[in-house]
Amino acid sequence: MIWYPYVQMKKMKNPYKVIDAKGVYIHTPEKKMIDSISSWWSSIHGYSNEEINEAAKKQIDKFSHVMLGGLTHDPAQNLADKLREVLPGDLDYVFYSDSGSVAVEVSLKMAIQYFNNKGMEEKKEIVALKEAYHGDTFKAMAIGDDPDYHKAFPEKEGIHHIAVDIKELEEVFEKRHDKIAAFIVEPLLQGAAGMKMYDVKFLEEARVLCDQYDVIFIFDEVATGFGRTGNMFVSDLVKPDIIVLGKALTGGYVGHAATVASRKIYDGFYSDDPEHALMHGPTFMGNALACAISLKSLEIFIREDYMAKIEKIERILNEELKDLKSEHIKDVRIMGACACIEVYDNKVFEGFSEFAYENGIWNRPFLNFMYTMPPYIIKEEELIRITDTFKKWFAQK
């Protein structure tokens, strides 16, 4: 049987069975519902995009996968070239892996080994944000700060969590910079924390401090990358030393991720010493099918001016939700193609998913947060169906 994610199996309601998915719609045998959360924020083109399907079929007919150790191929090379073109500055060195969590692990390994290769073995601690979420593997859990997810795995040795407060960051750097390898953030938007949003000024100032204290700045853009915050990458505003990409990299088609390093980081590994090599290599890294899909996804993103679509989504979300009031609502936040309604008590969400389903919307609030992160291809009337469903729910509460 299937062991489902993030759920007490004993109490789990039967999941809805999906028999088809096209455009923004997920089909069950009874219903056709708008996916308001893009399958965990990944399916930016909606489902079954004809062009991406074609690109996938074409690649499958050649080959789907070969190992990247000792072999290479056009899809992996072309995607690396394309990422180099769309990412800012010298974020040019693309290390592929199979999921966001693993790509985060790779970024931390890069940062720690960067200093190790320089003979600074003691620089191996990591600073992260309070309420951070960076994935479910062990080091990703350690740098995360969310007991709601990882209570059974409390190990935090060598990890420092700070608020989004430049003074706190400066204090920890001042005290421990000779031990600290990296500062990692979900830039501008902390997703699993409840779509917490903060100002770019913090990132700008943190960039200066990272340079001053010789700390590697990592942007985990697994969730924010490819437009979600209204910037194609937050890294376009403030340049990190390493960016982590996942989720929408493949348009939500298949699991694949990339950790992209700047020249400085790459040079820290480039030497005559075999021990300076990055010792990592997931079996499915650079998967040809995933790379071909990602290439087509990026081509569509740019050609169809998805940034303009995201701007429109942000405008509609603001018009429809900004002034939503209810005694249950603590806050409404909107950034790019993301809106979140925070409530005081999550009991108010009981029955909401079923209500949304009846209204033809797929949505799943978590903790105290109801949110939408729709596919970017969504039409105005479809987006309003989502926001109307939120409004109807609070109106009857």
- Which residues in this chain contact ligand PLP in the complex, by CB under 6 A? 99-101, 104, 133-135, 186, 191-192, 220, 222-223, 246
* Shortest spacing between CB 109 and ligand PLP, in angstroms: 15
Q: Where would I find the beta strands (DSSP E) of the chain?
A: 20-22, 25-27, 32-35, 93-97, 125-129, 159-162, 180-185, 189-190, 196-197, 216-220, 242-245, 257-261, 329-335, 338-343, 361-362, 369-372
Check residue 142 and report its DSSP letter.
Answer: H
Residue with nearest beta carbon to ligand PLP: 100
Quick one: 129 or 316, whose CB is closer to ligand PLP?
129
Nearer to ligand PLP, 316 or 337 (CB): 337
Amino acid present at 3: W
Q: What does the alpha-carbon distance between residue 320 and residue 70 come to, in Å, rounded to a whole number?
A: 53
Shortest spacing between CB 391 and ligand PLP, in angstroms: 27
Here the tokens at position 68 are: 């990247």
Of 23 and 100, CB closest to ligand PLP:
100
Least Å from the CB of residue 319 to ligand PLP: 27
* Cα–Cα distance measured from residue 239 to residue 203, given in angstroms and rounded to the nearest whole number: 9
Q: State which residue, 220 or 382, has the beta carbon closest to ligand PLP.
A: 220
Instruction: Output the six-digit token pair for 200.
Output: 């770019």
Measuring CA to CA, which residue among 369, 245, 376 is closest to residue 305? 376
The distance of closest approach from Cβ of residue 220 to ligand PLP in the complex, given in angstroms and rounded to an integer, is: 5
Comparing CB distances to ligand PLP, the nearer of 209 and 222 is 222
Catalytic residues: 6, 133, 220, 247
Query: What are the E-state strand segments in 242-383?
Result: 242-245, 257-261, 329-335, 338-343, 361-362, 369-372
Cβ 246 to ligand PLP, closest distance in Å? 5
With respect to ligand PLP, which residue has the nearer C-beta, 246 or 282? 246
Sequence letter at residue 7: V
Name, in order, each residue with C-beta under 8 angstroms of 272's C-beta and a sequence gap of 6 or more.
Answer: none
Write down the least CB distance from residue 62 to ligand PLP, Å.
26
Shortest distance (Å) from residue 186 CB to ligand PLP: 5
Counting Cα atoms < 13 Å in the Cβ hemisphere of 6 gives 13
Complex with ligand PLP: residue 36 or 101, whichever CB lies closer: 101
364, burial (CB in 10 Å: exposed 0-12, middle 13-18, buried 19+) = middle
Asked if 169 contacts 116 with a C-beta cutoff of 8 angstroms, the reply is: no
CB 112 within 8 A of CB 181: yes
